[in-house]
Structure 1
């Protein structure tokens, strides 16, 4: 044992030495590799990211305390092209031998190939070059630290910097900050030269961000400067800029006090070769000109058609292609109103929302006809997007079901359909594929297919018989969408035809908030091949087949010791009709009856007519913002309209005793969902992400269950990654069906994302959740939610992920494991799935949430 311990210790020491040497492999003798930065504030080591990120140079990224990115970079040859040439010339006959079966050009290209030089370039680009200590950058970092604490009120702070050696060609930089005492604002005065500016400022003086007694903070002063500028520019002061707001500060070092004087001087205007002061002026809009169909600045003063509508002047370089109201309804800059930056911003957003113009160009010029010099002419330049767009696409695909497939899509977009900025899109898609898993008696290579047709019509306004402008104002950028689509599948599952139609409204009640109201959503699903059920749901068939070996009494149901497809259906009926020896009290009877009920539900045609309201809020500021949250809530109600119509018609009831419409048993339910996502940014591209979801769909009236297309499932790459999609739940049933679904779902995920090196990222994740049946026709307690005791059925999956960031998308691989499996017996649920052989691979594009 002692001998083995000595060997292990020796190997560890050797490995540490090799790793340490490999880190400084590319570090010149006169330089030092930066291993860490230490920042001491008042003799206390600070690890706060917002302070550490002020340092310009950061050490190479570490993963599990190893600099894998640096090691990958160091492993690459610095000059692979030169190394290849040296290898060629190392033996005099090597080039001759290569040229005997390769051309000279091919020999040269061999050196440029991925395996010769490309792999080294990839390793260098993917890895991280060693971060060498740069004294000039360290000095700049020292000054940035001083500025940071100065801006936070520590006016007389002192910062020192020192570079220390921590090994051969390695070093660290130590910063020591002595903050001193913070300074507080004592008195606030103002000096505003233009009277009208003084009056406007006074109107909102109480909203100032700078208050007596507050500690000095530069960010507050900066934000107050922006607030004042925004207020004035939204009230007609066209020439006002942030630079016009100045502050004079007098420091009292004995009391650590600051006396502040707000100064807004008159503006400087060029008069010949000199600058003179003039008071600021409030401007009104005297004219609004709209130029459409412009393709260049040369055409701005060239127009062949014009129109005047509600004080708007519309010009076109060619024939005017838009109805005036369609354009003017999106413009908030109006004649007689004060100049306002808000109006310009809203106009830009609203015109862009029409999706028929490129981003608009809005210019203001002083009206030369106004002797008072207080009027502005607003010129809005619009360049139309192409009226017609044809977009074809073509893909070759493969999957577990479809070994080879060819898919194509062709869409045609028609902008400004009715000359009011409507957009119509017609698209067709098709897919043909080959599958070895499906019956193919004629031995046809392409034995599965899917095709569809979809039409979308979008209106940049609310289309409704009543006037809704007092409720949904045009500032909310409302749109109306009408969609209809038809898809058909052949030799895929039960084969389906799916007809959908949606009439919906979208609007933005306030920034970062979105509302969608589906006034009417219709979905009709027709199963074309219900006889194929037991070929698709093989687990159900296998269960029935096993029971049939014991309880079947009809020999016509069995062929070659196995149930036929029709025999499986007959066997279920025989059991339920009491022909077999099974009774309703037997567990086998309950299982067979459940399989029969599930089959009836999944092969039935669905007619779903619903309305829904969805609210969405997202605080994400931009693509780089990793400190935000989003919440989505949705409430949906289905079947109520059809229930009223069914009462007026005398259609026969279904075999289940439910009402029908057009001979189809329609669905009736109410459904609610909440989806919450939160991200915390820890700096250095480290992020903690969390997601919580809850959804419940309750059937009532004409339904005892939820349609399959509206039910919930658990597992998969964007859910509980310890299980594959549809394999978890319901409850503690163990996922025995081929596709497990239910009408109640809870899910929670936590994921810590961090950078490994270069464009490689990784993550540790934990997923908790499950699905249950509740308030429907399922009564088995293994499947249903039974109060607090059902929280023991929450499945726990965990694992590690590897991601590669291509900038425009992220390629993701997650390795999931079953840490707690509620499908196992009590006492045997924990850590039984933590085994490499039981890894669940999850591939995905972009992050799961």
Structure 2
């Protein structure tokens, strides 16, 4: 009987699904105007026996993308937006739920009467001929059925023409010689197919080259491409010439004359009023600063032009970008005018509108994590731009927050924090690294920071943390970024350690490391490379590498060696000595316009030596949580095969390690509207470098691969444009803390079991992608 009922139930579901398709389909056509049809799309067929099948399919897809209008959007074969538009009806006023549904959520039907078959055919013909398929024939037809219509286009191209030769301007103009010398970089290659878009790109390349040689008034339209297809078998000769009617100033190279800067320009005023005392002459610059706002050296470091230089578009753009990157100006305008007194000379004018000198920013954050903590944080930032007239930025911040665990192993162990931070940033390098950044469009910076934070874990302990750093930040280009802290000092001191936590330490001495006094100092360096901003690339990458050297010189000088009982202190606090390296590599494979495969691998190693047996807790690696292995709660996994058990006072202590290996891969695809979906697999773990008798199985060994945790899951991402809200539901596939032959738990998966779901399903809520 149970099988019979099961079959009946399946048939009911199938009938409901068929009914749903029928309702959606019919309801979308019954609202159509009398005599009109719903346009449901078009297809293009390229008929040619010479073109390879793959090339023919690619051409068909390119041509289909050109067709207009586009039909109503579909989801699983349905048109829900059109259905919502129809059932909403005509609203009586320009507001309310009906208006919102029809005009904001819904989508107006695309009628076949709006489709111009002849116009689309001409678009396809022009495109194919521009690609070198001359004398292409295109025909169009349509098919109508059940109040729906489709369009079909047939394209019959001739053999594609190939470039036989390319000739560059050979007249006596100086610019023609410049063009000729750059011909080896030409985009027009003999043997390649003729393509009008490539010719346009070649004209733009030549224009960009001339802009680097002083030809400010030149533009691509002054280059004419003469194409001769009369000779040869489907071959063309291309000759590039300078148009005879090009204006004389476009054929002239210009030098830079006066350079005038207005640092207090107001876009609301028609003219600039100033007196002689407001004018400062500094090197090649004339600075008209009515409020004496800036030290003139700011402009010397920012403007790349010098008087007498040949105009150069690269220097032009570099200057504008650096003005913007100073972070002091709200509006930057640049004008070049022909000099009244010098021939072939451009005077340069920079009009700069200031941002408010002082401002306050308040941030209120709500947060949750996979350790079941929910909380809030408030940050108040006071900023003072141009503090010492050198475009410096002083920031003073105070912050406070609280995290609560409303249920779970740490219930009642709430976390409160309060602190302040002061930072001063100079838009230049302070000695001895003045010349390290080169001619970058990004302003190099020197930054000094002081920070204090008080953190109180109620019923357990409190920590005072002090940090001071001094370092440099610079970008070589949009892809490469560096951060070097030549001094980075952290001091951590415990406070208010409760008897409850002391009892836990007596049971597990490893917990005492959390409240040890820590003194960490030494240089740190980070390097970041990314080309993920190149959206058209199929493969893009991100890499972030970090090296942290603590106490190395001091340990060497003092001869510190804790293993030999020779631990050294500074101000009665043992200083940390270690080398820590971390690498984060990410790869993004674009599968289609709306889907990609994202993968990440993180490798980290901290090697304590000399004055330390392990890394300080604040510098150790952790795994688990919303941006890590999502099937395990934050900081609850590892090290190695060690099982994290509750303390005598029933809470789960954080777990950390000296080594880390983590891998994730995630398939991402757009589902509909602002909703994107993901399927993912995460794997990894952490380990200790040295044996810890209180954490059996935590030490790194040759069998580390047997201690890898694995989790999987699915998620939704809601792209709200200003932020991405992410929800991931994950569950473990492999638990490294189980006996060695029982670690794979795939066979135990049972979504219908309440106890299994409670123990294994982890909901992660976060802002942004995990990587």
TM-score (norm 2): 0.86
Query: Is structure 2 residue 760 aligned with structure 1 residue 841?
Result: no
Segment drifting more, 768-777 vs 192-201: 768-777
Query: Is structure 2 residue 431 aligned with structure 1 residue 516?
Result: no
Matching residue of 1:640: 552
Superposed CA offset, 1:562-621 (max 9, x none): xxx54x555x5xxxxxxxxxxxxxxxxxxxxxx32x223222122111312211122234
Matching residue of 1:729: 638
Q: Distance in 1 between matches of 2:261 and 2:737?
A: 67
Distance 1:368 1:775, change over 3 A: farther
Matching residue of 2:648: none
Q: 1:287 aligns with which of 258, 275, 299?
A: 258
Say whether the 8 Å CA contact 1:248–1:261 is kept in structure 2.
yes
Q: 1:154 aligns with which of 114, 124, 133?
A: 133
Q: Distance in 2 between matches of 1:816 and 1:128?
A: 35
Matching residue of 1:324: 296
Distance 1:673 1:293, change over 3 A: same
Mapping of residues 240-251 of structure 1, within 5 Å: 240-251=218-229
Superposed CA offset, 1:94-147 (max 9, x none): xxxxxxxxxxxxxxxxx98xxxx6498369745666655565266665555445
Q: Which has the larger radius of gyration?
A: 1
| C-alpha displacement of 1:671 | 1.7
Q: Distance in 1 between matches of 2:148 and 2:653?
A: 58
Say whether the 8 Å CA contact 2:371–2:625 is kept in structure 1.
no
Distance 1:453 1:394, change over 3 A: same
Distance 1:716 1:178, change over 3 A: farther
Mapping of residues 683-722 of structure 1, within 5 Å: 683-722=592-631
Mapping of residues 307-346 of structure 1, within 5 Å: 307-316=280-289, 318-346=290-318
Query: Is structure 2 residue 331 aligned with structure 1 residue 416?
Result: no
Query: Is structure 2 residue 424 aligned with structure 1 residue 461?
Result: no
Matching residue of 2:680: 765
Unpaired segments ≥5 residues, structure 2? 646-651
| C-alpha displacement of 1:34 | 5.4
Q: Distance in 1 between matches of 2:320 and 2:375?
A: 44
| C-alpha displacement of 1:288 | 0.6
Q: Distance in 1 between matches of 2:414 and 2:8?
A: 65
Say whether the 8 Å CA contact 1:430–1:452 is kept in structure 2.
yes
| C-alpha displacement of 1:250 | 1.7
Mapping of residues 472-487 of structure 1, within 5 Å: 472-473=438-439, 477-487=443-453
Q: Distance in 2 between matches of 1:260 and 1:77?
A: 58
Say whether the 8 Å CA contact 1:197–1:232 is kept in structure 2.
yes
Segment drifting more, 381-390 vs 395-404: 395-404
Three-state SS of the structure 2 residue aligned to 1:628 is strand
Mapping of residues 777-816 of structure 1, within 5 Å: 782-787=697-702, 789-816=703-730
Say whether the 8 Å CA contact 1:694–1:745 is kept in structure 2.
yes
Q: 1:235 aligns with which of 210, 213, 223?
A: 213
TM-score (norm 1): 0.78
Q: 2:190 aligns with which of 193, 198, 212?
A: 212
Distance 1:147 1:646, change over 3 A: farther
Distance 1:766 1:162, change over 3 A: farther
Q: Distance in 1 between matches of 2:570 and 2:265?
A: 54
| C-alpha displacement of 1:202 | 2.3
Matching residue of 1:22: 24
Distance 1:258 1:522, change over 3 A: same
| C-alpha displacement of 1:76 | 5.6
Q: 2:540 aligns with which of 623, 628, 640?
A: 628
Matching residue of 2:470: 503
Say whether the 8 Å CA contact 2:491–2:518 is kept in structure 1.
yes
| C-alpha displacement of 1:401 | 9.5
Query: Is structure 2 residue 84 aligned with structure 1 residue 73?
Result: yes
Mapping of residues 359-370 of structure 1, within 5 Å: 359-370=331-342
| C-alpha displacement of 1:658 | 2.3
Q: 1:355 aligns with which of 327, 336, 342?
A: 327
Q: 1:164 aligns with which of 136, 143, 154?
A: 143
Say whether the 8 Å CA contact 2:169–2:240 is kept in structure 1.
yes
Three-state SS of the structure 2 residue aligned to 1:412 is strand
| C-alpha displacement of 1:780 | 6.5
Say whether the 8 Å CA contact 2:91–2:98 is kept in structure 1.
no
Q: Distance in 2 between matches of 1:325 and 1:133?
A: 66
| C-alpha displacement of 1:452 | 1.0
Three-state SS of the structure 2 residue aligned to 1:303 is coil
Matching residue of 1:600: 512
Aligned length, in residue pairs:
739
CA-atom RMSD in angstroms: 3.7
Distance 1:142 1:764, change over 3 A: farther
Q: Distance in 2 between matches of 1:842 and 1:326?
A: 47
| C-alpha displacement of 1:158 | 3.7
Q: Distance in 2 between matches of 1:323 and 1:678?
A: 45
